[in-house]
Structure 1
Amino acid sequence: MKNADFQNRILALVEAILEQNSIISKAYPDSRLVDIGFTSMDMVSLMLGVEAEFNFTIPQSEITPENFQSVETLELMIVNQFQSGRVP
């Protein structure tokens, strides 16, 4: 799977949450999620959405503010999980 696929899938999840909250904001790979209107509950929704979308459980050690800063940081964490073999 190409990194662009990961990024597009994460962006779609972010945009769905924004739309659900009636937030009119464009999400870019480097947009800070809090800056475009994400709350802590949105972060939980995003985490669960990522787990469902990519069919794996995010390790507790990876659920950090740094990994959930932007689509890019989230993508990097997911790619690392797949490359390290932690994801079947």
Structure 2
Amino acid sequence: MPQPDIQSVTTRAMALAHEIAARHAITAEFRSADALVDVGLTSLDLVNLMLAIEAEFDIMIPPSCLNPKNFHSIDAISKMVEAVRSGTFQ
């Protein structure tokens, strides 16, 4: 199975974040570099986003990747997904 490019991962992860934000009536647009907590997502939302990311990309995020740095923004999530998919996560 070919791996998606980072833009595809970013686009798909952004759609998931917007879906979760909409549950709280957060409709403001945000960029992939914006801090998700600044957008209005809670820690529970970030857990739900993590589960959605795992389902969307058919991956299991290893415990070593479960840290605030990797869920700071969509850009950070995209990089983490690419690292997990390629087996280069740290």
TM-score, normalising length: structure 1: 0.91
Match for residue 22 of structure 2? Answer: 19
Kindly indicate whether the alpha-carbon contact (under 8 Å) linking 1:14 and 1:27 is maintained by their aligned counterparts in 2: no
Match for residue 40 of structure 1? Answer: 43
What is the SS of the residue equivalent to 2:37? coil
CA-CA distance at 1:85 after TM superposition: 6.8
Unaligned runs of 5+ in 1: none
Distance 1:31 1:68 in 2: 11
Which of 62, 66, 82 is the equivalent residue of 1:63? 66
What is the SS of the residue equivalent to 2:67? coil
Deviation sequence 1:29-74 (CA, Å, 0-9, x none): 1010000001011001100000000011100110100000000001
Distance change (3 Å), C-alpha of 1:85 and 1:73? closer
Residue identity opposite 1:39 in structure 2: T
Distance 1:85 1:43 in 2: 23
Match for residue 76 of structure 2? Answer: 73
Which of 1, 5, 8 is the equivalent residue of 1:5? 8
Unaligned runs of 5+ in 2: none
Match for residue 53 of structure 1? Answer: 56
TM-score, normalising length: structure 2: 0.89
Kindly indicate whether the alpha-carbon contact (under 8 Å) linking 2:35 and 2:73 is maintained by their aligned counterparts in 1: yes
Bigger fraction of residues in helix: 2
CA-CA distance at 1:22 after TM superposition: 0.8
Residue identity opposite 1:14 in structure 2: A
**Matched positions, count:** 86
What is the SS of the residue equivalent to 1:67? helix
What is the SS of the residue equivalent to 1:52? helix
